């Protein structure tokens, strides 16, 4: 068993599951979406991105691009949350919907990354 691949897969799947946990719930209800879960999803996504930098294959490039998309979406979601919470007067249903929608884009990118990981694993020969 290759420990590097285990860690790589762990962070890809963890990024997707944390993002999914944040995404699930009523899109306009801030009580259904925890800011700390968004923060954890962003941090784990950034770690997964760093782990993807070493791969020089075509699949590695696609992995990196999906991770960068997820990072961008989660950073935008965190910025919207921060603006709404500290400048905009609180998390209104409209602002919550914006944050959740941005995390949904990141979730899609994470799902693509997990699918690529599974396809890569299936295609690998011993």
Burial of residue 39, with CB atoms counted within 10 A of its CB: 0-12 exposed, 13-18 middle, 19 or more buried: middle
Domain housing 38: 3-123
In order, the DSSP letters of 76-105 are HHHHHHHHHHHTSSS--HHHHHHHHHHHHH
Q: How distant, in Å, are the alpha carbons of 82, 88, 118 from that of 115?
A: 31, 38, 5
Q: How many domains does the chain have?
A: 1
pLDDT for residue 82: 93
Sequential pLDDT tens for the chain (126 residues):
788 889 988 999 999 999 999 999 888 888 889 899 999 999 999 999 998 887 788 888 898 999 999 999 999 999 999 999 899 888 888 999 999 999 999 999 999 999 998 998 888 876
């Amino acid at each position: 068993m290759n420990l590097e691949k285990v860690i790589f897969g762990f962070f890809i799947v963890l990024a997707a599951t944390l993002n999914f946990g944040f995404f699930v719930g009523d899109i306009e209800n801030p009580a259904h979406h925890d800011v700390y879960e968004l923060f954890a999803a962003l941090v784990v996504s950034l770690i997964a991105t760093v782990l993807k930098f070493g791969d020089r294959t075509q699949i590695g490039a696609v992995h990196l691009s999906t991770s960068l998309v997820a990072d961008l979406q989660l950073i935008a979601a965190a910025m919207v949350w921060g603006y709404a919470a500290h400048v905009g007067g609180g998390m209104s249903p409209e602002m919550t919907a914006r944050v959740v929608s941005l995390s949904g884009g990141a979730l899609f990118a994470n799902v693509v990354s997990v699918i690529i990981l599974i396809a890569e694993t299936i295609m690998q020969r011993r």
